[in-house]
Chain A
Amino acid sequence: MSSRPPDELPNTLPRPAGEFERLQAVWKRPRGWRVLTQVNNTAIGLWYIGAALLFLVLGGILALIMRTQLVVPGNDLVDYDLYNQLFTMHGSVMMFLFAVPVIEAIGILLLPAMQGARDLPFPRLSAYAFWAYFVGGLVFFTTIFFDLAPDGGWFMYPPLTSYEFSPGLRTDFWLLGIGFIEISAIAGAIEIVVGILRTRPPGMTLDKMPIYLWAMLIVGAMIIFGFPPVILATALLELERAFHWPFFLAEKGGDPLLWQHLFWLFGHPDVYIIFLPAAGLVSMMVATMAQTPLIGYRWIVVAMLATGTISFALWVHHMFATGMPHLSLSFFSAASMAVAIPAGLQVFSWIATLWRGNVQRTTPTYFLLGFFGVFVLGGLTGVMLAVVPYDWQAHDTYFVVAHLHYVLIGGMLFPVFAGIYYWAPLISGRQLSERMGTWACTIMFIGVNLTFFPMHIAGLLGMPRRVWTYADGYGLEIYNLLSTVGAFVFAAGIGIVLLDLLLHFRPAGKVNTNPWRAGSLEWLPQDEYAIRSIPFVTNRDPLWANPSLPEEVDAGQHYLPGTATGVRETIVTSPIDARPQYVLRLPGSSWLPVLAGVGTAVFFLALTVKWMVIAVLGAIVALVSILMWLWQSDPAPSGKLFDIGGGLSLPDYMTGSNSHSWWSMVVLMLVDGSIFACLIFTFFYLWTVTLSGFPPESLELPLIGSSVAAALAWAVSVAAMYVSNRMLPQKRMGAVGLTLTAALAGVWIAFGLSLHALLETNLQPQLHGYASTAYTTVAWQGLHAVLLTLMAGFTLVRLWLGMIDPVRRVVFDNTRIMWYYCAAQGVLALLVMSSPRLAM
């Protein structure tokens, strides 16, 4: 199908009567209290950003209290115990409740507009991610008022955070409370990755993607591989705290450094997960403000790919002082140097673009200049910290505090605020106050430097991080005083931006404005339905290439000018070449994602305080809502082809790897597989560091007979699934159901035998790192057995109701591929657990 632009505009004028009205009607925003049921990205994206800004303010207030405490040595405004909660919450709130959510939120708001889609492929998933995050985040934050806030630092190093040194609920709030954020982040990543790969407009091949799409695609992939280590680490630490299964206790075959490896294997990519989207925004804005195409577009793509990859090989540079061998550290030093190259590449591309164009001197530009100043300095101190011997001095001092704030504020906050001024007109139809913006930018720039530059010096004068007070007589007084003054200046700058938003930002319905004369698609006339018709993209800056594009699009002269299937919909295209494949029918407003999100948050939080009844209720609400929403998610194919213009007729249903749903399943399996890979890493890591035998001689290994039998059961289960898949095209539905049931039985037999292999030995999870890891591995299989049971049950019911047939088989296929994955994982787990036999 079409890979070339149409010779003439796909749809002719005048458009049929009622077409536009029907489009408006299906995308109509619900009224009254039903406004909360919205799933449209324009609504969810805005709420999401609003919530993130709220957490920015809350986290900022915590910082101001800390700065006030540190204004003079020996101050007693807050005591050590509250201070430790304050800095832990400040870090956790800023990283988990502001930085990561805000970049996903901006993606959800802007991506569909930039890629000419009506919405991302899973609107309800976005809504779910938002509600779980918003409700859970608010409750998590309130722990600071009840003296229940975590106090182990946002990095939560055990053994300080394990049961012996941190009894009580504080740490549990962090470990479980962060759970819903992880789920929310993963949900957002699935939405973003599949959205970018599958809902681009026709013709938008890889070389024509706005640079922001590249940034978010790479970041989505990074979240898929970067969040699993921390998901596993928090689960392991919670198991250690709740059930005394040793993973991080040196005297029981664990290792405290295991936590640091897992945490920073997440933590370092996370920095780039936060920075790359902002860099993408900068690239978009620089080109527009300079009124010239971005110089080095191709190199920037390469630079972001390199950053994304290399960022996974930097984690040990947070561990340079752990006494690891100098050679091991040096590899990470080399990688840290390597990752600075793409950063330099991007900076020079931006500067070159500014040189080539006549730059519009308005607020977004000033924020971009602020970004340059703050970020480049942070980058340079980053290179200093990558130098191993220098880091031995600077590590864990205020020098690092200064560095990380320069990088995050420069690399993320300034671009995001530039973005607020740049994209606000897209939502509200008019610009924010130029005057307030200029003032805010100036004050923020002064504030950030006044706060954080002196911290470099304080650190070098011997001020460690995370101290609630410091001694006088070491020259620290003046630098701390300056920092405190600067913090309030900085806060005032942020306050002006928020005030500007309050005064001048009102979402308008229909918006037709392009104040900065940008070239990208989001500046086409927008409404609830996004753009009226979807153009074939032939250029990286379509609005510059074709100045009449906005009128054509808004008149409905391009593809899909109305609603073809009568419901909300968008065009699905192929992932690389962006060829139109089918019309995806999108779900509309619903309470289900709200209930599921709130239920998820309630489940995690109630579990923390051990209100088991409420936790179970939350879980039930979440689960039932999700199942009901999934029940509606595979509408029956009509079998018809829908004309979207230009002689292009598309179906409304596709299966296999053409289905958007298949892609989300694959992404989910990648996340799942990454968690499992981290578990395997845990196993081999503990084996390596445990010199006293793994397991020690007093412990047995899993029974070989049961293990082999379990592997065979997995094989039988897969075989049954395979047969089931062969029966489906032949319409032998009874046989399909029967083999599926048999496959499920196989799963539980395999799980039972795997568990039996452990239970019949003297292994108990509390005894040793080997036993705790082995039991966790089997428990992980149990979790998947439950998942497969839910999926199989769901599939069987739909089979029974005739909702699955050889054409409408997406549900069956998703169950099937997850099945194969679980079987592979199950067999691998058995092999790994028994692998110490080889060493005997």
Chain B
Amino acid sequence: MIGEAVILLGCVLTLLAGIGVLRFDDVFERMHALTKASAAGLILVLIGAALLLPSINDVTTLALAAFLQVLTLPVAANLIASATYRAKDVPLRIDTVDELRDDEERSLEPGDRGPE
């Protein structure tokens, strides 16, 4: 019963990630919604499945799947974000603070060996 409730909660979090990806109006906001909400939802689903499945073999497989997802999902989001930032055809709506641009400008100054 508790496991099924945890699974349903994780599925609702995944649905919230889907709604966020559908409704937000910028690539970075969509990536933000997907990465955080769906990682939490997947962890909850796998915890609920580990509570309900009897075999210890299944539980270790679920733990490894959750660990790999937590390890790879932020890296993938970071790769998409930097690639989107550097792509030419995507309009950037960054108004006030752009730390990546400031960093790259500072590292491109002559006589400078990159950011300290």
Q: Is B one of A's binding partners?
A: no
List chain B positions with a Cβ less than 8 A from chain A: none
